[in-house]
Homo-oligomer: A and B are copies of this chain.
Amino acid sequence: MTEPLRVALAGLGTVGAGVVRLIDANGELIARRAGRPIEVVAVSARDRSKDRGIDLDRFDWVDDPAELARHPGADAVVELVGGADGPALALARAALGAGKSFVTANKAMVAHHGLELARAAESGGVALKYEAAVAGGIPVIKGLREGAAANVIDRVYGILNGTCNFVLTKMEAEGRDFAEILAEAQRLGYAEADPSTDIDGVDAAHKLSILASLAFGAQPAFADVVVTGIRNVIAADIAEAAALGYRVRLLGMADADGKGLFQRVQPMLVPLDHPLAHVLHSTNAVVAEGNFVGRLFFQGAGAGDGPTASAVVADLIDIARGEFGPPYAMPVEALAALPPADSGERRGRDYLRFTVADKVGVLAEIAAAMRDAGVSIESLMQRGAMADGSVLVAIVTHEGPERCVAQALEKLRGSPSLKSEPMWMPILSD
């Protein structure tokens, strides 16, 4: 057995403690698989006295994370501190600058600073690994970087936020509205006290931009992700979708042609015969469609200490084996700088829902806006009065360019007939 891979670990929250527990529990098997043991030698966290249920005395405790990053006994540094900037980024720069391999679960930091960090890793000849940053325990970074590497990827998309999927699944199962379910999820600890990073799609957007870089060999462009969360999905949307043979899911989706990179996070209607329709509760799933492999589908736990620790240690095993290469599958200088795609020409079918006043002429107004914008209606359902006396009009369009739908919604903007913002959800195409 050769020398162990020695690890310095920053951050001892649930995931950090999970990494220690995993290596304690599975260390012998990991050593057989990795060809050498993986050993935590030093740790850093805010509170030394907190009881984490693990014995920390055997590790070198370092108060200053930047000092941890340069720890002379460590070959690799694991960052589980969190935050796009601040201490996490300082740690990453220091570790890579000191010529140490670096593993992180920090999606925000990789989305914002991945390119800079990848350059540093490449110039130092060390690893930058971030499997745990996207879809928790699911090896989807590896799936794109290596498993599907022979393919031109047509599109990559998936359920990237467990909190949103938990809320949408529960809304469907119980027929209740968003606010109620969110409050319950917060009570149960499935949603944060400030849920906006999850609910408004930002977390999914971080992950999507990482997937898009890998899939399309493009420079990360988090700022170009167009994001809509799930706050405006109502129980009636989910019921209408179900009646039509769909389920509502918050999807991150990206594709690229020669001209631009499309990246969007948005609630969409998923047909029941698509595997994403059967992803329930807080489970995550990613689909990659390649020009030779067809549709690849990866599903599993997107969060939690065990799955996240599993992904972090898988990265460490790759490093211990010496099986790693450029962080973005190809050298940073080979990544293309793609402008954001113009979505107006995208063709698809759409679900539109209007909550309107119960009075003469409203339906005609909506229908006229559709006609004037060139939107062809496949089906229209008007449901009787809701609790507050308003009426629900749900439309499914024929396939057409997105530009026309946007124009129709623009025409209706500010109409006194509408009692809330219209809901627009594209229907996932095959």
* Residues of chain A having any CB pair with chain B under 8 Å: 18, 22, 25-26, 29-30, 32-35, 131, 137-139, 142-143, 146-152, 217, 273, 275, 278-280, 285, 290-301, 304, 306-307, 309-314, 316-318, 321, 323-326, 329-331, 334
Assess whether B299 is in contact with A296, with CB atoms less than 8 Å apart: yes
Contact among B30, B310, B323, B331 with A324 in the assembled complex (CB-CB below 8 Å): B323
Assess whether B296 is in contact with A150, with CB atoms less than 8 Å apart: no
Contact among B292, B313, B330 with A310 in the assembled complex (CB-CB below 8 Å): B292
> With A33-B330, A137-B296, A275-B299 given, is the CB distance from A291 to B25 under 8 Å?
yes
Task: Enumerate chain B residues within 8 angstroms of A291, measured Cβ to Cβ.
Answer: 25-26, 306
Q: How far is the CB of A1 from chain B (nearest CB, A)?
A: 10
Task: Enumerate chain B residues within 8 angstroms of A146, measured Cβ to Cβ.
Answer: 139, 142, 314, 317-318, 323
Complex Cα gap A256–B301 (Å): 23
Contact among B273, B300, B317 with A297 in the assembled complex (CB-CB below 8 Å): B300
> With A139-B147, A152-B26, A314-B149 given, is the CB distance from A334 to B32 under 8 Å?
yes
Complex Cα gap A230–B129 (Å): 44
From A138, A147, A314, name the one whose CB has the most chain B CB atoms within 10 angstroms: A147
Closest to A325 in B: B321
Complex Cα gap A378–B185 (Å): 35
Task: Enumerate chain B residues within 8 angstroms of A314, measured Cβ to Cβ.
Answer: 146-150
Task: Enumerate chain B residues within 8 angstroms of A293, measured Cβ to Cβ.
Answer: 137, 300-301, 306-307, 310-311
Assess whether A22 is in contact with B292, with CB atoms less than 8 Å apart: yes
Closest to A316 in B: B150
Assess whether B217 is in contact with A32, with CB atoms less than 8 Å apart: yes
Q: Could you say how many copies of this chain the assembly holds? A: 2
Assess whether B301 is in contact with A298, with CB atoms less than 8 Å apart: no
Complex Cα gap A329–B321 (Å): 10
Assess whether A294 is in contact with B300, with CB atoms less than 8 Å apart: yes
Contact among B26, B32, B295 with A150 in the assembled complex (CB-CB below 8 Å): B26
Question: 11 interchain pairs (CB within 8 A)?
Answer: A22-B150, A33-B330, A138-B296, A139-B143, A139-B146, A139-B147, A147-B314, A275-B299, A290-B310, A298-B299, A323-B323
Closest to A315 in B: B150
Complex Cα gap A327–B35 (Å): 13
Contact among B26, B142, B285 with A292 in the assembled complex (CB-CB below 8 Å): B26
Q: How far is the CB of A87 from chain B (nearest CB, A)?
A: 26
Complex Cα gap A159–B411 (Å): 51
> With A30-B150, A33-B149, A149-B34 given, is the CB distance from A325 to B323 under 8 Å?
yes
Complex Cα gap A138–B293 (Å): 8
Complex Cα gap A240–B25 (Å): 43
Instruction: Please give me the 8 A-B residue pairs with the lowest Cβ-Cβ distance, nearest first.
Output: A139-B147, A150-B313, A293-B310, A137-B293, A297-B299, A292-B306, A323-B323, A292-B310
Q: A35-B330, A297-B299 are in contact. List 15 more A-B contacts (CB 8 A).
A: A22-B292, A29-B152, A30-B149, A34-B149, A131-B147, A138-B296, A139-B148, A148-B310, A150-B317, A275-B275, A275-B279, A291-B306, A293-B300, A293-B306, A297-B300
Contact among B33, B139, B149 with A317 in the assembled complex (CB-CB below 8 Å): B149
Q: How far is the CB of A16 from chain B (nearest CB, A)?
A: 14
From A142, A146, A150, A151, name the one whose CB has the most chain B CB atoms within 10 angstroms: A150
Task: Enumerate chain B residues within 8 angstroms of A292, measured Cβ to Cβ.
Answer: 18, 22, 25-26, 137, 306-307, 309-310
Assess whether A294 is in contact with B301, with CB atoms less than 8 Å apart: yes
Assess whether B151 is in contact with A147, with CB atoms less than 8 Å apart: no
Assess whether B310 is in contact with A301, with CB atoms less than 8 Å apart: no
Complex Cα gap A139–B152 (Å): 16
Closest to A329 in B: B33
Assess whether B294 is in contact with A306, with CB atoms less than 8 Å apart: yes
From A18, A131, A300, name the one whose CB has the most chain B CB atoms within 10 angstroms: A300
Task: Enumerate chain B residues within 8 angstroms of A329, measured Cβ to Cβ.
Answer: 33
Task: Enumerate chain B residues within 8 angstroms of A152, measured Cβ to Cβ.
Answer: 25-26, 29
Closest to A323 in B: B323
